[in-house]
Structure 1
Amino acid sequence: MRVTVLGTGAMGAGVAGSLLREGHEVTVWNRSADKAAPLGDRGAVVADDPGSAVERAEVVLLTLFDTDAVVDVLEQAAGEAPTDAVWVQCSTVGVAGTETIVQLAAKYGITLVEAMMLGTKAPAEQGTLTMLAAGPSDVLDRVDPVLDAVGAKTVRAGDAVGAGTALKLAANAWIASITAATGQSLAVARGLGLDPALFLEAIDGSASDSAYAHTKGAAMLEGAFPAQFALDGLRKDIGLITEAARDAGVSTTVLEALGRVYADASAAGHGGDDIAAVGTAF
C-alpha cells in the first residue's frame, strides 16, 4: 500500500522502517528534515512538507508528539490527500486532544481511525508493537495490512475514535507504575544493605515477575539509559492520564505520586533519557 508517515521521531522512524521491510510504498515527512533523511536511504520518499507527503497516500499515519503538532500538520495536509485516504491517528494526545482531532477531521471530511502504539523504539523497529485500534470496523479492515506490518497484534478497543486512546492511557499508567516501582524496590534493597540485583533474582519466575521489571531494572543497575521511551514523553502521558482520570471520577493519588517522581528525575537532567532513569529519583 501507499503509506505516508507524518513524524519520524523514535517511533515514527521505526514504524516507517517496518513498513518498508514489509514491502509497502512509504513516504515520510518530519519537521526536522535530518530525522527523515536516513529513511530515504532505505527506499522511502522524503517529502518537503506535509501536503506533498500525502498527495498519493492510501493510508496516512500521524506519529507526532502532541495535540498541537497533530493539529498543525492536519491543517497543512488535509486538503492535499486523496478523498478516499484513511488517516490513522497514532499520537498519544489524551482524551481532550483526541476530541479536538476528531472535530478537525470532520471539518475537512477526513476518514479517521486511531491505532495507538503500545511499545517503545525497539518494537517499532522490529514490527512487534501492540496496536490499540478504534474506529468503524470496515475502515479498520482497510488498514489492517499496515497495522500488521508494524505490530505483532492489534487490539480493537471500540467502534469510535477515542476508545484506543482510553486503552493507551490505561496501559501507559501501568508502564509508568511498574517502571517506577522497579526503581523503588531496587533502591530499598540497596538502602537496606543488599545487592539490589537480588530483588530481580527474587521475583524471577514467580507470580509477581515481570519481563519489563528485568529490562528496566537492568538499565537501572547499569546506570545507562539510552532512550527507548524518553522520560519526558512519559511525563507528558502521565499528565494526560491524570487529567482523564480526574474527569472520569477516578482517584489520581498514585498518578500524582508518579508525576512527582518522574518530574524529579527530569529535573535532575534525565528528561531525554529512557524512562528507566526514573530509578535515579529514589
Structure 2
Amino acid sequence: MTTASSADAVPGKPSVAVLGTGIMGSGMARSLLRARLPVRAWNRTRAKAEPLATAGATVTDTAAEAVRGADVILTVLNDGPAVAETLTAAADGLRPGQVWLQSSTVGLDATTELAHRAAGLGLVYLDAPVSGTRQPAEQGTLTVFVSGPSGARPTVRPVLEAIGGRTVWAGEDPGAATRLKLVTNAWVINLVNGVAECLNLAEGLGTDPRLFLDAVKGGPLDTPYLQQKAAAVLDGDLTPSFALSTALKDSRLILDAAGASGVTLDLIAASAERFTRAQAAGHGDQDMIATYYAGRTG
C-alpha cells in the first residue's frame, strides 16, 4: 500500500528509490523532491518515512516495492549489515541494470562485499558516501564522494546535483570513495573531540569558554565548526546533526582500515574511547559534540 503517486515517471528525470529515511536519508529525499525527481521512500520503521509523503514522495511498505522500476537506488543506512539486510529485503523488486548509489558509510570490507553482491544481481554499483550532516542534507549541499563505472554518470548526475553541492569522483574502483570518506571523517572526528577537550579544559581551569572562543575568533585558529559545536554545548542544544553513536561506528571503521594498512592512529583511538564513554553515559543519540561529557568529572 502506498500513500502518494509521485513515483510516476517524469520525462528526462530518473526515478529514485530512497532506502533509509533517518537524519540523512530524509534530508536527501527532500532535496530530490525539490529537484522534481520521482521518489519512492522506504524505512524499516515506516513512521520515519511518512512525513515525506506530504512532500510528494511515495512511501512504500516494503523495500522491494520501493525499488521496483526505479532507475536509481539510493541507500542511506547506518552500517554494512543494515545495507546487506535491506538489499535482501529488496531482492524481489530489483532488475539488472539499475544503478545502486550506496551512500551509507560502511567501511572497506563491507563495501567490497556489497559490490560483489551488486555484480551478482546485475546492478551497477556506485560507492557514494557523503560528507555533511543534517542541514547540508536538507539543503542539497552535501559533498558526495563517488567511485564506480563512469558509464553510470549520466544516469546519476541529476541525483547527485540534487543532493550535493559538489561531487568528487574518486575513480572507477568501488572502495575508492569509501577510502576518501574515511580520511575525511578522521579529520572531522579529531576536530570535534578537539573542540570538546578545549571546552573541558576551560571549564576545569575556571576560564569562561566564551572568552576562549572570542580569543580565536576570526583568526587562523578559528573555524566555523569550532564556533558552531561550542555554541551547541554552551546553549545546551544537542539535537543531532550527526549522532554520537554514528561517530563511534565510523571511528571503529577508520581504525579497522588503518590497522589493515599498517597505520597507527592515536588520536582516532582516543576519540573512539571518548565516544564510548559518552555513549555509555547515555549520550549516544545526541549530536557527536556530546563527546564533551566524556571529559567531565562531575
Q: TM-score, normalised by structure 2?
A: 0.92
The answer on 1:52 being equivalent to 2:65 is yes
The answer on 1:187 being equivalent to 2:200 is yes
Match of residue 114, structure 1, among 127, 144, 161: 127
The answer on 1:22 being equivalent to 2:35 is yes
Question: How many angstroms apart in 2 are the aligned matches of 1:85 and 1:200?
Answer: 49
Question: How many angstroms apart in 2 are the aligned matches of 1:247 and 1:120?
Answer: 28
Question: How many angstroms apart in 2 are the aligned matches of 1:19 and 1:224?
Answer: 28
Question: How many angstroms apart in 1 are the aligned matches of 2:214 and 2:147?
Answer: 39
Contact 2:192 2:288 in 1 (8 A): yes
Secondary structure of the corresponding residue to residue 70 of structure 2: coil
Question: How many angstroms apart in 1 are the aligned matches of 2:226 and 2:154?
Answer: 35
- Which amino acid is 2:213 matched to? L
- The number of aligned residues is 282
The answer on 1:241 being equivalent to 2:265 is no
Question: How many angstroms apart in 2 are the aligned matches of 1:68 and 1:187?
Answer: 35
Match of residue 47, structure 2, among 34, 38, 43: 34
Deviations 1:135-160 (A, max 9, x none): 12221332011011011111111111
- Which amino acid is 1:116 matched to? P
1:200 Cα deviation (Å)? 1.5
Identity %: 43
| RMSD, aligned CA | 1.1
Question: How many angstroms apart in 2 are the aligned matches of 1:67 and 1:257?
Answer: 24
Which deviates the most, 257-266 or 134-143?
134-143
Match of residue 171, structure 1, among 184, 202, 205: 184
The answer on 1:213 being equivalent to 2:226 is yes
Q: 2:216 — aligned with what? A: 203
Contact 2:130 2:142 in 1 (8 A): yes
Q: 1:7 — aligned with what? A: 20
1:84 Cα deviation (Å)? 2.5
Q: 1:94 — aligned with what? A: 107
Q: 1:155 — aligned with what? A: 168
The answer on 1:71 being equivalent to 2:87 is no
- Which amino acid is 2:31 matched to? S
1:79 Cα deviation (Å)? 4.6
Contact 2:32 2:163 in 1 (8 A): yes
Unmatched 5+ residue regions in structure 1?
Answer: none
Unmatched 5+ residue regions in structure 2?
Answer: 1-13
Deviations 1:64-123 (A, max 9, x none): 111111111112223523432211000010011101101111111111102111111111
The answer on 1:229 being equivalent to 2:242 is yes
Contact 2:96 2:121 in 1 (8 A): no
Question: How many angstroms apart in 1 are the aligned matches of 2:92 and 2:168?
Answer: 30
The answer on 1:137 being equivalent to 2:150 is yes
Contact 1:186 1:197 in 2 (8 A): no
Contact 2:134 2:242 in 1 (8 A): yes
Secondary structure of the corresponding residue to residue 173 of structure 2: coil
Secondary structure of the corresponding residue to residue 100 of structure 2: strand
1:21 Cα deviation (Å)? 0.8
Secondary structure of the corresponding residue to residue 129 of structure 2: strand
Question: How many angstroms apart in 1 are the aligned matches of 2:113 and 2:216?
Answer: 43
Question: How many angstroms apart in 2 are the aligned matches of 1:165 and 1:222?
Answer: 34
Q: 2:118 — aligned with what? A: 105
- Which amino acid is 2:144 matched to? M
Contact 1:265 1:280 in 2 (8 A): yes
Question: How many angstroms apart in 1 are the aligned matches of 2:255 and 2:153?
Answer: 29
Question: How many angstroms apart in 1 are the aligned matches of 2:230 and 2:239?
Answer: 13
Match of residue 277, structure 1, among 290, 293, 297: 290
Question: How many angstroms apart in 1 are the aligned matches of 2:213 and 2:39?
Answer: 42
- Which amino acid is 1:248 matched to? S
The answer on 1:83 being equivalent to 2:96 is yes
Question: How many angstroms apart in 1 are the aligned matches of 2:216 and 2:178?
Answer: 32
